[in-house]
């Protein structure tokens, strides 16, 4: 059963063995596996419940419907656009369907540097297999690569730069190109098409448009969740909802999990700290011939020749990934104001776009509550990030110019349209990438409730169990002590599978 906000007409109370907060990569897996093990499960999801017929392909309608803050969630200084899904199924509805595992070096890094126990290639092997089987993960076929993505790989191949195609959780893709705003033919197998139905079939109850406001704790143990039913159209809370449960699973994501814990007085000083955003800078290449980037799979190829993953530092280096979207997406990543922006946009059909993805290391980033309860995302782009991003810009310029681009630039108001490799290399090396001008994007928020065996520096142990309170488990990317992967869906789902099996095996 899924009840949406408009169906709730009075204060509501429910009781379950487990209350799962959030229904995305972490919450959906936890809800399904715990319900299938015989637990009575209730899920609270702040976003709405949508199906393929709701996905109109119109960006002006879909961003407000499916994204946190309509896609307008930014770091406090305005420097990074932080994208998150907000619906039953979470970000699996609106991601690019790229299925990458955590590199072994990162898992080793977590164990040696952050004292994470029992999370490694061996312990995750079965979890990866179960998750990838549930999502129908497979290779993207050569015939599914659109012109936009092919150009990136074409240039890299000519330069002997190593690259490849992503694995994906698509089946029967029609090449419509609207992956970032919902798949209208159910080809992209988000959690709403597998783990959520499994949870429901096993008896779980899901309340959509239901915000968790506070975890209730008595005598050091969780006893339930208090929340609010939301009127999505008016943007207001209508009725209270209260769930009694002996175990709470928090899977609200790396931005909103720490806010909920802080409102509940849980987690101590480490809650909200160690934020990593793994910012990406969009890159634009203009070609003399038509590219039509908005048709086909938006993101299918990558160049990973410059990845530098080590047990000492974890995920490092930089990589380039093809990406595309509709005119709304392009209007954000295309630099320029007024006439300059219009002139560039008039070449939309001839434009190829990519993201330069640069992992960051945990620093002084943190999440806290704004006045009124929203998220304040405090984040400073690190010098090492800028250094690697400049290298990535230069590498992308080489790829696209080799592939026949007549001009290149990147999403920065200080970037000029460059028509030669010599000028591109120099411009990239001098790019300031300042907060006031660069247009950075993040879809991989991690680290705000770090896991590990040191209670002084971590919010939860290596199995997601919160320190300082009984009966609360964290299960989302906020657990990751550093950037886990270039894409976090599979890492989060595999971690959820591992944690869920620990809970089931322990009889908790």
As a whole number of angstroms, the distance between CA 355 and CA 396 comes to 9
Mean per-residue pLDDT over the chain, rounded: 96
- The kind and range of the H/E element at 394 are helix 383-402
259 falls within a domain: yes
Structure confidence by residue, pLDDT tens digits, 35-67: 999 999 999 999 999 999 999 999 999 999 999
Do both 411 and 452 map to the same domain?
Answer: no
340 falls within a domain: yes
As a whole number of angstroms, the distance between CA 266 and CA 166 comes to 39
As a whole number of angstroms, the distance between CA 324 and CA 251 comes to 29
371 falls within a domain: no
Give the model's pLDDT for residue 507: 76
Give the model's pLDDT for residue 279: 96
364 falls within a domain: no
Per DSSP (E only), the strands in 198-329 are 205-207, 210-218, 221-231, 236-244, 247-250, 280-286, 301-303, 319-322
Determine how β-strand 205-207 pairs with β-strand 41-44: parallel
pLDDT of 142 above 90: no
What is the chain's Cα-based Rg?
22
Query: Model confidence at 336, in pLDDT bands (50, 70, 90)?
Result: confident
443 falls within a domain: no
As a whole number of angstroms, the distance between CA 440 and CA 357 comes to 10
Determine how β-strand 247-250 pairs with β-strand 18-21: parallel
Do both 95 and 152 map to the same domain?
Answer: no
At which of 434, 456, 476 does a domain end? 434
Q: How many domains does the chain have?
A: 2
396 falls within a domain: yes
Catalytic residues: 444
Query: Model confidence at 350, in pLDDT bands (50, 70, 90)?
Result: very high
pLDDT of 372 above 90: no
Do both 111 and 193 map to the same domain?
Answer: yes
As a whole number of angstroms, the distance between CA 454 and CA 484 comes to 19
Per DSSP (E only), the strands in 196-265 are 205-207, 210-218, 221-231, 236-244, 247-250
- Mean per-residue pLDDT for 109-113? 97
- Residue 350's CATH number: 3.30.410
Structure confidence by residue, pLDDT tens digits, 387-442: 999 999 999 999 999 999 999 999 999 988 999 999 999 999 999 999 989 999 99
Whole domain around residue 239: which residue ranges? 2-70+81-136+183-272+448-506
13 pairs with which residues across the strands? 242
Do both 319 and 462 map to the same domain?
Answer: no
- Mean per-residue pLDDT for 340-349? 91
The first and second tokens of residue 116, run together, are 């994470």
Q: What is the pTM of this model?
A: 0.97
Residue 322 near residue 302, CB atoms below 8 Å: yes
33 falls within a domain: yes
The first and second tokens of residue 145, run together, are 């690569």
């Amino acid at each position: 059963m899924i009840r949406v906000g408009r169906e709730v007409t009075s204060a509501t109370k429910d009781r379950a063995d487990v209350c799962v907060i959030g229904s995305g990569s972490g919450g959906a897996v936890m809800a399904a596996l715990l319900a299938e093990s015989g637990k009575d499960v209730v899920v609270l999801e702040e976003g709405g419940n949508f199906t393929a017929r709701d996905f109109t392909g119109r960006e002006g309608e879909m961003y407000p419907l499916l994204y946190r803050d309509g896609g307008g969630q930014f770091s406090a200084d305005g420097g990074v656009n932080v994208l998150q899904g907000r619906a039953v199924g979470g970000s699996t509805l609106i991601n690019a369907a790229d299925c990458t595992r955590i590199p072994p070096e990162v898992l080793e890094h977590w164990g040696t540097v952050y004292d994470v126990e029992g999370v490694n290639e061996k312990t995750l092997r079965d979890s990866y297999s179960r998750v990838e089987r549930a999502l129908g993960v497979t290779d993207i076929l050569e015939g599914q690569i659109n012109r936009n993505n092919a150009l990136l790989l074409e240039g890299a191949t000519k330069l002997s730069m190593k690259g490849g195609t992503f694995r994906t959780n698509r089946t029967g893709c029609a090449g419509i190109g609207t992956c970032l705003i919902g798949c209208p033919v159910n080809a992209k197998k988000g959690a709403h098409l597998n783990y959520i139905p499994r949870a429901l079939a096993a008896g779980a109850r899901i309340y959509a448009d239901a915000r968790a406001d506070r975890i209730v704790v008595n005598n050091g143990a969780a006893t339930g969740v208090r929340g609010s039913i939301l009127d999505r159209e008016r943007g207001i809370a209508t009725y209270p909802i209260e769930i009694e449960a002996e175990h709470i699973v928090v899977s609200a994501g790396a931005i909103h999990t720490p806010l909920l814990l802080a409102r509940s007085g849980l987690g101590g000083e480490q809650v909200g700290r160690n934020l990593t955003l793994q910012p990406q800078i969009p890159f634009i290449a203009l070609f003399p011939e038509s590219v039509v980037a908005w048709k086909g799979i938006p993101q299918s190829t990558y160049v990973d020749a410059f990845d530098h993953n080590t047990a000492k530092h974890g995920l490092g280096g930089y990589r380039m990934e093809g990406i595309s979207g509709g005119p709304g997406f392009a209007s954000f990543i295309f630099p320029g104001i007024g006439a300059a922006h219009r002139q560039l946009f008039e070449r939309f059909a001839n434009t190829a776009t990519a993201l330069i993805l640069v992992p960051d290391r945990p620093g002084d980033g943190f999440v806290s509550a704004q006045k009124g309860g929203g998220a304040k995302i405090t984040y400073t782009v690190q010098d090492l990030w800028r250094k690697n991003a400049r290298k990535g810009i230069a590498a992308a310029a080489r790829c696209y110019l080799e592939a026949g681009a007549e001009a290149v630039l990147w999403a920065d108001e200080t970037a000029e349209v460059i028509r030669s490799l010599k000028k591109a290399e120099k411009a990239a090396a001098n790019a300031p990438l300042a907060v006031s001008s660069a247009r950075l994007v993040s879809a991989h928020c991690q680290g705000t409730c770090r896991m590990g065996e040191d209670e002084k520096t971590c919010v939860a142990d290596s199995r997601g169990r919160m320190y300082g309170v009984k009966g609360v488990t964290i299960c989302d990317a906020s657990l990751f002590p550093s950037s886990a992967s270039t894409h976090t869906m599979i890492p989060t789902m595999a971690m959820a599978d591992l944690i869920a099996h620990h809970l089931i095996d322990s009889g908790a």
